[in-house]
């Protein structure tokens, strides 16, 4: 068993972590720390809730600390956890700067400890389905990929002042940037269009980044002002196109308190399936719906277990997280300056 503790008892811990860690037979959730006893989330009977952080550090049974605090505290708590000899799983975005990320990875290596970013969106159903279609080869040579992460929440940027921690680029771009880097590697060049649509002083609420590779372009685009969302993925090859209109449904189900213990949790229905259109080797036009892959954020915990207990390679490589942080820094400087 891998025994873990959480730092933070808010939405991140309760909505995006506990439903998966509690459902994992190799994980024992022992303790949740929060400095105040004011969480709106219902307590789990078998878990210790503490407001004294020393109860985490001095508990030799706790091997892994999962940090689910606001971004401004990520570096501080991660460094402290490593100081105390604990492995670390750190919520996204990993840190505020690439230098902080480099320092944490170097320190963890020095102490022979595991530290990794919680990039759960690598295991989104739509992203896994796109990988399946690309690997099938039916699209031919890839030419262009468009990835969209849209909402219609105009009230959010109207009420939130600008900061890195509350920027759309840092908060949501970290998902799609990680997907790009994990699938295609480091690009040759990147162009940035990062905006505050409501003007200076308001939160960053829009971004459009283009990643250029030798023979293809990958675009990630997001806005808080899309009354009708753009397709989640559009993938063009020289022989066809795949369009996945809807996002992964795990977040949708979690918000409804429909948990991974349900067999149909996060599962796409036929109306959610993407459409694959291509010309086959005989020159014949073909179109079909592609059954979606099953997403599972719990695979991050499977990976952490395998790395810490069995010495397997991390599922999110250090250099991928460092490169992501460099891209986020470069992008957000467009609106900080």
Cβ atoms of residues 16 and 120 within 8 Å: yes
Q: Kindly report, residue by residue over 199-221, the tens digit of the pLDDT.
A: 999 999 999 999 999 999 999 99
Query: Where does residue 7 rank: exposed (0-12), middle (13-18), buried (19+ CB within 10 A)?
Result: buried
* Rounded distance between C-alpha atoms, residue 108 and residue 203, angstroms: 33
Burial letters for 187-211: b for 16+ Cβ neighbours within 10 Å, e otherwise? beebeeebbbebeeebbbbbbebbb
Regarding pTM above 0.75, the answer is yes
Q: Kindly report, residue by residue over 133-154, the tens digit of the pLDDT.
A: 999 999 999 999 999 999 999 9
* Rounded distance between C-alpha atoms, residue 136 and residue 140, angstroms: 9
Return the percentage of the chain with pLDDT > 70, whole number. Answer: 100
What is the pLDDT of the chain when averaged over all its residues?
96
∠ at Cα 104 (102, 105), nearest 5°? 65
Name the CATH superfamily housing domain 121-295. Dihydrodipicolinate Reductase; domain 2 (3.30.360.10)
* pLDDT higher than threshold 90 for residue 123: yes
pLDDT at site 336: 87
pLDDT at site 194: 97
Mean pLDDT of 91-117: 98
Cβ atoms of residues 335 and 195 within 8 Å: yes
pLDDT at site 38: 76
* Rounded distance between C-alpha atoms, residue 259 and residue 96, angstroms: 31
Q: Kindly report, residue by residue over 274-288, the tens digit of the pLDDT.
A: 999 999 989 999 999
Which pair of structure tokens corresponds to residue 49? 């809730």
Closest CA to 98 of 86, 89, 106, 88: 106
Cβ atoms of residues 81 and 55 within 8 Å: no
Return the percentage of the chain with pLDDT > 90, whole number. Answer: 95
Name the CATH superfamily housing domain 2-118+300-327. NAD(P)-binding Rossmann-like Domain (3.40.50.720)
pLDDT at site 337: 74
* Rounded distance between C-alpha atoms, residue 226 and residue 204, angstroms: 15
Quickly list DSSP for 87-105: EEEEPSS--SSHHHHHHHH
Q: Kindly report, residue by residue over 26-50, the tens digit of the pLDDT.
A: 999 999 999 987 789 999 999 999 9
Longest dimension (CA), the chain: 68
* Rounded distance between C-alpha atoms, residue 26 and residue 279, angstroms: 46
Domain map of the chain by residue range?
Answer: 2-118+300-327, 121-295
Which pair of structure tokens corresponds to residue 108? 């963890």
Mean pLDDT of 91-97: 97
Q: Kindly report, residue by residue over 154-204, the tens digit of the pLDDT.
A: 999 999 999 998 899 999 999 999 999 999 999 999 999 999 999 999 999
pLDDT at site 166: 87
Q: Which helix (H) or strand (E) holds 28?
A: strand 27-33
Cβ atoms of residues 119 and 300 within 8 Å: yes
């Amino acid at each position: 068993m891998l025994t873990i503790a959480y730092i933070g008892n808010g939405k991140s811990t309760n909505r995006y972590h506990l439903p998966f860690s509690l459902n994992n037979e190799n994980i024992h959730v022992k303790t949740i720390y929060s400095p105040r006893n004011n969480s709106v989330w219902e307590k789990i009977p078998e878990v210790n809730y503490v407001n004294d952080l020393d109860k985490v550090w001095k508990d030799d049974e706790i091997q892994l600390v999962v940090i689910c605090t606001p971004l401004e505290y990520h570096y501080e708590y991660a460094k402290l956890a490593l100081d105390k000899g604990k492995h670390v799983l750190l919520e996204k975005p990993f840190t505020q700067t690439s230098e902080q990320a480099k320092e944490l990875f170097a320190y963890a290596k020095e102490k022979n400890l595991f530290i990794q970013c919680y990039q759960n969106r690598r295991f989104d159903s739509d992203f896994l389905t796109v990988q399946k279609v690309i690997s099938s080869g039916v699209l031919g040579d890839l030419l262009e990929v468009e990835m969209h992460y849209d909402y219609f929440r105009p009230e959010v940027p109207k009420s939130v002042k600008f900061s890195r921690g509350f920027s759309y680029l840092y908060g949501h771009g970290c998902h799609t940037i990680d997907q790009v880097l994990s699938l295609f590697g480091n690009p040759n060049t990147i162009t940035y269009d990062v905006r505050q649509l409501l003007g200076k002083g308001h939160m960053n609420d829009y971004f459009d980044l283009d990643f250029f590779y030798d023979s293809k372009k990958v675009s990630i685009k997001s806005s808080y002002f899309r009354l009708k969302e753009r397709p989640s993925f559009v993938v063009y090859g020289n022989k066809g196109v795949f369009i996945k209109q809807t996002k992964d449904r795990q977040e949708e189900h979690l918000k409804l308190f429909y948990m991974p213990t349900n067999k149909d949790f996060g599962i796409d229905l036929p109306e959610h399936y993407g459409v694959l259109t291509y010309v086959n080797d005989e020159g014949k036009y073909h179109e079909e719906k592609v059954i979606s892959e099953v997403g599972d954020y719990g695979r991050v915990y499977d990976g952490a277990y395998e790395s810490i207990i069995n010495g397997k390679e991390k599922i999110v490589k250090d250099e991928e997280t460092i490169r992501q942080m460099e891209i986020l820094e470069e992008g957000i400087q467009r609106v900080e300056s």
